[in-house]
Structures are given as C-alpha cells and as structure tokens.
C-alpha cells in the first residue's frame, strides 16, 4: 500500500527485490553490528551502490534514503531523537509520510541537521530528492488513488 513508487525509481529499497533492486520495510540498519541499530519504516539505497542483501534483516550498508510513517500524534520526542541519530549517522534524505493527512514532508541532511525541502499533500505531485524525477501525486504514493 505505502510508497508504491519504489519499483519505478533508481533506488534499492529494503522490502522486496524489484528488477535487481531491493527494498525493505522495517529493516535493521546496523551502523555498528548489534551496537548502533536503527529500524526505519522503509530504507533505500541508490542502484549501483555496493549493497549486500542480507539473508536476515541486518543491513550493514548505510541507506541513502529513509522514510518514516507517522501520525499527527507520532511527531514527538521519540521521533525527534531517531531523526537526530539519522543525521549524526549520515543519512542523506528523509521523508516523513502521514497517511491520515495524505501528506509527505521531505528533508535533506546538511551537516548534522535536517533541512525541510518540501511539504506535499493530496493530489500534489512530489518532486523531491532522491527521486526528484518521480513526479507522482501524494495520493498515488500512499496508495490512496483508488
């Protein structure tokens, strides 16, 4: 249902193999094996990057892009802490998707902080890195275009 564009972009995401790509929902990203572990809702890597697809759920390669599914109530201290860690660990792109509001906020990390690059909602097309060429409406990305 969520973020159906993964099969159409030059990313390897962590929940299914798609044309030589890989995508994963709630993968464990091990920045130091079994020491620094974060579990984003969706993680993706640019195609062409060396990536070992693990037999288990423990990815050792830092993703280029992370998406967190949120709710209006979930934007709390816990999420802020997680986003701060993503920035410290060098994740480049972050999307926060709020299906209840049919909204996606996009961010890019500069240094150790996130800079908001856009807010998209409803039928508005999302044009944001790392898939700026995508140009799909939020409703389609969140599986609400029926």
pLDDT digits (tens, 9 = 90+) for 78-127: 678 888 888 988 899 999 988 888 999 999 999 888 999 999 999 998 88
Which bin fits 79, alpha (ψ -120 to 50), beta or left (φ > 0)?
alpha
The CATH homologous superfamily to which domain 4-141 belongs is: tt1808, chain A (3.90.1570.10)
Which of residues 52 and 136 earns the better pLDDT score? 136
The rounded distance, in Å, linking the Cα atoms of 48 and 130 is 14
* Average pLDDT of the residues of the chain: 75
| Residue 9 CA to its chain's centroid (Å) | 13
Beta strands in the chain (DSSP E): 11-13, 17-18, 21-22, 24-25, 28-32, 36-38, 42-46, 58-59, 65-69, 93-98, 103-110, 113-121, 125-126, 136-137
Model pLDDT, residue 6: 52
Q: Do β-strands 42-46 and 24-25 pair in parallel, antiparallel, or remain unpaired?
A: antiparallel
Q: Kindly report whether the global pTM for this prediction surpasses the value 0.75.
A: yes
């Amino acid at each position: 249902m969520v973020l159906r564009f993964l099969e159409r972009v030059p990313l390897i995401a962590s929940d299914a193999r798609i044309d030589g790509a890989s995508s994963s929902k709630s993968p464990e990203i091990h920045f130091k094996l079994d020491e620094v572990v974060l579990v984003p809702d969706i993680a993706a890597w640019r195609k062409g990057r060396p990536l070992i697809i693990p037999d288990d759920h423990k990815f050792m390669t830092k993703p280029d892009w992370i998406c967190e599914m949120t709710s209006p109530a979930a934007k709390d201290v816990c999420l802020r802490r997680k986003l701060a860690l993503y920035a410290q660990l060098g994740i480049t792109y972050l999307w926060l998707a709020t299906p209840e509001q049919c909204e996606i906020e996009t961010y890019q990390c500069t240094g150790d902080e996130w800079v908001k690059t856009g807010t998209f909602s409803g039928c508005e097309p999302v044009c944001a890195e790392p898939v700026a060429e995508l140009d799909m409406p939020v409703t389609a990305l969140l599986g609400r275009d029926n």
